[in-house]
Amino acid sequence: MVYGNKLNFLWTLGFYLVASQTPTVPSIEDKKFIEDCVAAHNEMRRTVQPSAANMKYMTWDEGLAKTAKSWANKCKFEHNYCPANRCHPTFAYVGENIWLGILYQYIPAIAIRSWYNERQFYTYSSQQCTKVCGHYTQVNI
């Protein structure tokens, strides 16, 4: 399902990694990790078809990163259904995509590309999905 105007939404990456918490788990304070996440998102957003007339540039939000990290630490493979106005002080609703994988194989582009690849199931003209494509719309719309 496509929810109203997503341009005001912030993006949360919830990473559920199949590994114990070790120093190699990406840190939400690691500048390279942050740059890689933002770059991968914006690269996918630049390639959306048909091209967007006014695609917003995605930026990192420290508050959302903390919310995502806290939820990921619970190791529940489900969405974090925050009560309204509890996930972020500015936005009543925030989007969330979850990725599950093996720690040593993880780079942000892999997770984001897996969500973007759902584009094959999305029809722009009707804004409908023929199969699962909510992760794609979350990244791009």
Give the model's confidence band at 84: pLDDT under 50 very low, under 70 low, under 90 confident, else very high.
Answer: low
- Side-chain-side CA neighbours of 103 within 13 Å: the count stands at 11
Instruction: Enumerate domains of the chain plus CATH numbers.
Output: 31-47+60-140 (3.40.33.10)
> pLDDT of 91-101, one tens digit each?
777 878 888 88
Backbone dihedral angles phi then psi of residue 126, each to the nearest 5 degrees? -100, -10
pTM over 0.75: no
**Per-residue pLDDT at 43 exceeds 90:** yes
The dihedral of CA 22, 28, 32, 36: what is its sign? positive
Q: Is 80 left (phi over 0), alpha (psi -120 to 50) or beta?
A: beta
The answer to whether 94 and 65 have CB atoms below 8 angstroms apart is no
Confidence category of residue 87, pLDDT binned at 50, 70, 90:
confident
Count of beta carbons in the 10 Å neighbourhood of residue 120: 9
Euclidean distance between CA atoms 49 and 51, whole angstroms? 5
Over pLDDT 90: what percentage of the chain?
A: 25
Q: What single-letter DSSP state applies at residue 23?
A: T
Mean pLDDT of the chain: 79
Confidence of residue 40 (pLDDT cuts 50, 70, 90): very high
Q: E-strand spans in 21-140?
A: 95-102, 122-123, 128-129
At residue 101, the pLDDT reads: 80
H runs (alpha helix) in the chain: 31-46, 62-72, 108-116, 134-140
CA separation for the pair 51, 33 (Å, rounded): 27
61 or 25, which is more confident: 61
Residues in the chain: 141
